[in-house]
Amino acid sequence: MQRPLVLLVLALALGILGATYSEISTAAAMTAAVIAFCTAVIGFIRAWRINGWVLFCLFFTLGLLVTANQRAAVSDLPADRQGRQVQLAGTVIDRPDVRAEAVFFKFAVGDTPGSPVKAVLRVKIKGTVKDIRYGDRLALTGFINRPPPPGNPGAFDYRAWLNRQGMAAVLTVPDGETVKILGSGGNRLWRLAYGIRDSLEKIIDQTMNKTNAAVVKGLLFGTRGEIPQEVQLAFNQTGLVHILSVSGYHVGVVTVALLALLRLLKVPGSYTAVIAIPVLLFYAVMTGLEPAVCRATVMAVLLLLARQVGRQNDWPTSLAAAAGIILLVNPLDLFDIGFQLSFAATWGLLYLTPQLNRFCHRLPGYVCSLLTVPLAAQLATWLPVVLYFNLVSPVSLLANVLTAHLVALIMLFGGTALLLGVILLPLAQFINVATGLLTELFLWLVQFCHALPGAAWYIPAPPLWLVAVYYLMLVGVFELLRRPERQAAIKQLISRLAVPGRNRRWAACLALGLLLAGICLLRPVNHGLALHFIDVGQGDSTLIITPNKRTVLVDAGGWPEELVSGKGAGNQVVVPYLHRLGINQLDVLLITHPHNDHAGGAGAVIKAMPVKLVLVSPYGQEAAHKGDDGYDLLLQQIRRQAIPLQTAVAGQQLKVDPAVDMRFLGPQTLYSGTRSDANNNSLVLLINYRGRTALLTGDIETEAQRDLIEGGGLSRTEVLKVPHHGSAYGHPAFFNLLQPAAAVISVGANNRFGHPAEAALENLRELNCNIYRTDLQGAVILNTDGTKWTVKTGK
């Protein structure tokens, strides 16, 4: 068996997958592992020929066992504690993540120091927070909650992420002043490492401006909470986000710098590994032992050990060893995006780079490596990036080429400043003048790449089978290129195709066909009408996709204060939802009325993508003069971005696609003096596609519903977006007139308004109507080809 460790770690990974999707019990997994172990012992004694397969089965059952144990270790949240206020005492077991809006950390709940851990929670503390550190024992008062499964297809699964980290629920502490520090404890090594990191970060804060300090801390230690949101977005969309998380690149820079320092100090080679390995392990602990750091550190340690004993390092074995160690400690890291991208990128660098170097061997070695190293990483990771983030960044290669060595310089200058700053702070300040200039240049290059036309665009996630086919084709092509006899045959084939005539035309047709096939696979064609009622919590947001791929977003959700803060449902739910569908621009953004739960997310939408037209109700224009809930700030933002802004009224048509008739039925008049003028002045949109109808009603209440009934513009409608989240403020004849076959209620779970009202639900049930609620079923997606409707839900 060649490279047996590679196959055994593959078996371990398969066992983890099997345990995850079969949900095998710990007892069953233990039984299987014991049987496999006994069989392996017998096979070793008897020297069976099939011992390789026996070991494969042993590691497979080991994967089952460690995964079942990991799942069992995550305490389930008692149902009677969900959403309730509790008082808990426990210990901080990781380094707190300090952000502008809150502080987050991992919290082991236990009655007394040293007592068994009852549960591990993720704590979120709002407001003014005391200086909390790893190992501190705290008394906390907050609300405990287990996040629900994601309501929108493809959305981030917060609950699954918590479970992978060994946490059962979230404890939200609304007031940081109530936190009581009872003492300190924890692992001494970890406490020392985090304490040193805190001290070093203070040196950076004291010697650099805020933005530069945040970036340098990200480069050296992976601290990202303080980096401005617009800077993070630029890094994400230029394919440089890995630079802000300590990964193999950073560990590599530290290793090279450390070896160079030891050589400069003339340390004997026999002591190199003895000194370097503890330093690297301490750096890994200090940066939080993320999967990418663990992978790089294990490989660096194995490389140093191989050099120490005079043996050649085998990179596939080292990569497998790193994966095996990480997965044995936490098998659920297999599903961590950072784990997958780190190993994919490393595989690409070690496997693909040598072959790429052969193609550009005529270039100087330095230039060749500068091009081939980032290209290899891109080839190995671009499809997983599309799979998870729907992002294609054509400028990523350019950005990595321009910034790779600059990052190393920043780390070198920043690290030197820290070493000198420990001795004398002004020395660090002097060095960090240069570090700051380099950081400014680095950020300028990032923004330059980000500003290039087509720097980033989004496409739908490819199916998993296409990802597998891509890697098989990639390996197949590079395996052919590795063999000289195959290379000669390929060159001969290329030379034949390159001559004028029929061969060239056939080659061009083949290339065009493959390109079109790829586009069709990544962007499936759908000629029908689609309505996406997005789960935004307590609010409304409906996406309309017409047969000719025109897009209309009706409202953008909104969480409390989002019109003012600009953060909430828009940037966390709606924009990611649009990106997952491959939507890079909107034809129309329609804001039914100026309430925060409908208009709050609009600012994030127009900031994230081009919008050709914004439509508001007449009351929406009036509200701007009153300054309702920051709505005037949204209108100012629209005007600053030079987006056409128009008012829609009853009787107008919305012409975005000739195949679909869209007409505004309301508001029929400008309501004043009603229970809620803003709600009654909501835009009401009727959609008709080949006789299939849908009515979007905003938050209209009794008065507006009565006028629609009396005005004669209503008739039976197949799909109804229920007004005002199903509130009780409705006209009793409204549902009876429409007779909807499907009613969609966009509403948040356990909302304080009591939506939907039982009376509204009862009226719909009497009509034998199919009721869909976003709080129960998540996003509701209706498609029609003009003959019938089909329904899918997010949960």
Strands 97-98 and 103-109: antiparallel
Q: What percent of the chain is predicted at pLDDT more than 90?
A: 37
Determine which of 95-104, 326-335, 672-681 has the lowest per-residue pLDDT on average: 95-104
Cβ-contact 34, 61 below 8 angstroms? no
Question: In whole angstroms, what is the distance from residue 241 CA to residue 665 CA?
Answer: 47
Q: 477 or 205: whose pLDDT is higher?
A: 205
pLDDT at position 483 over 80? no
SS (H, E, C) 717-776: CCEEECHHHHCCCCCCCHHHHHCCCEEEECCCCCCCCCCCCHHHHHHHHHCCCEEEEHHH
C-alpha 32/C-alpha 57 separation (Å) is 10
CA Rg, the chain, in Å?
30
| CA atoms in the 13 A half-sphere facing the CB of 183 | 7
Local structure of 266: helix, strand or coil:
coil
Q: Please tell me the predicted confidence (pLDDT) of residue 549.
A: 92
Question: What's the pLDDT band for 580 if we cut at 50, 70, 90?
Answer: very high
pLDDT band at 596 (very low <50, low <70, confident <90, very high): very high
∠ CA(331), CA(287), CA(432), 5° rounding?
155
For tokens 């925060």, what's the residue?
Answer: 596
DSSP 8-state class, residue 586: B
Rounded (10°) angle between helices 272-286 and 291-309: 180
Of 313-322, 591-600, 751-760, the least confident: 313-322
Buried residues in 702-711 as b, exposed as e (16+ CB within 10 A)? bbbbbbbbee
**φ, ψ dihedrals at 189, nearest 5°:** -65, -45
Q: Tell how strand 770-773 and strand 551-554 pair up.
A: unpaired
Average pLDDT over residues 740-768: 93
Cis peptide leading into residue 453 (ω within 30°): no
Q: What is the pLDDT of residue 203?
A: 92
Beta strand 614-616 with 588-591: parallel, antiparallel or unpaired?
Answer: parallel
- Tell me the torsion sign for CA atoms 277, 280, 285, 291: negative
Provide the pLDDT for residue 644: 95
**223-237, 517-531, 537-551, 732-746: range with lowest mean pLDDT:** 517-531
Rounded to whole angstroms, the Cα distance separating 133 from 118 reads: 21
Residue 444 tokens, joined: 């300028």
The whole-angstrom separation of Cα 776 and Cα 343 is 38
**What does the pLDDT read at residue 691?**
92
* Average pLDDT of span 522-531: 71
Q: Which residues contact 273 (CB under 8 A, 6 or more apart)?
A: 304, 305, 307, 308
Tokens representing residue 542 in the block: 């409906």
Q: What is the pLDDT of residues 144-171, one digit of tens each?
A: 888 888 999 989 999 888 988 888 889 9
- Contacts of 215 by beta carbon, 8 Å cutoff, 6+ apart: 227, 231, 244, 439, 442, 443
Positive or negative: CA dihedral 648, 653, 655, 661: positive
Q: How far apart are CA 627 and CA 491, in angstroms?
A: 69
Q: Which residue has the higher pLDDT, 521 or 89?
A: 89
- Over residues 733-754, mean pLDDT: 93
Residues 237 and 456: beta-carbon distance below 8 Å: yes
3-state secondary structure of 487: helix
Residue 115 has pLDDT above 80, yes or no: no
Instruction: Count the residues in the chain.
Output: 795
DSSP state of 546: -
**pLDDT tens digits, residue range 256-299?**
888 888 888 888 877 888 888 898 888 888 888 888 888 888 88
Would the pLDDT of 779 be above 80?
A: yes
Rounded Cα distance between 427 and 424, Å, is 6
pTM (2 decimals)?
Answer: 0.86
Give strand pairing partners of 123. 105, 171
pLDDT tens, position by position, 614-651: 999 988 776 665 545 689 899 999 999 999 999 998 99
Residue 583 banded pLDDT, cuts 50, 70, 90:
very high
Banded model confidence at residue 508, pLDDT cuts 50, 70, 90 = low
Among candidate residues 429, 400, 437, 415, the one with its CA nearest the CA of residue 221: 415
Is the distance from CB of 786 to CB of 691 less than 8 angstroms?
A: yes
Query: Which residue did the predictor score with more confidence, 616 or 252?
Result: 616
If 0-12 CB within 10 Å is exposed, 13-18 middle and 19+ buried, where does residue 785 land? middle
User: Is residue 501 pLDDT above 60, yes or no?
Assistant: no
Cα separation, 654 vs 688, in Å, equals: 12
State the pLDDT at residue 588: 97
Average pLDDT, integer, range 207-232: 85
Contact 723, 699 (CB under 8 A): yes
Contact 744, 715 (CB under 8 A): no
Q: What is the pLDDT, as a whole number, of residue 783? A: 96
Whole-angstrom CA distances from 759 to 261, 728, 735 are 76, 7, 12
Amino acid residing at 23:
E
The confidence score (pLDDT) of residue 628 equals 58
* Between residues 687 and 526, the one the model is more confident about: 687
The amino acid at residue 781 is I
β-bridge pairing 692-696 and 719-721: parallel
b/e per residue, 633-649, with b = 16+ CB within 10 A? ebbeebeeeebebeebe
Q: Report the distance separating Cα 136 and Cα 155, nearest Å.
A: 34
Asked if pLDDT for residue 606 goes beyond 80, the answer is yes
Query: Over 40-70, what HEC string results?
Result: HHHHHHHCCCCHHHHHHHHHHHHHHHHHHHH
The answer to whether residue 741 scores a pLDDT higher than 90 is: yes
In this predicted structure, what is the pLDDT of residue 742? 96
Q: What whole-number distance in Å separates Cα of residue 273 and Cα of residue 415?
A: 21
- Six-digit token string for 568: 């909430």
Separation of alpha carbons 790 and 772, rounded Å: 13
Tell me what percent of the residues of the chain surpass a pLDDT of 70.
91
**pLDDT score, position 1:** 52
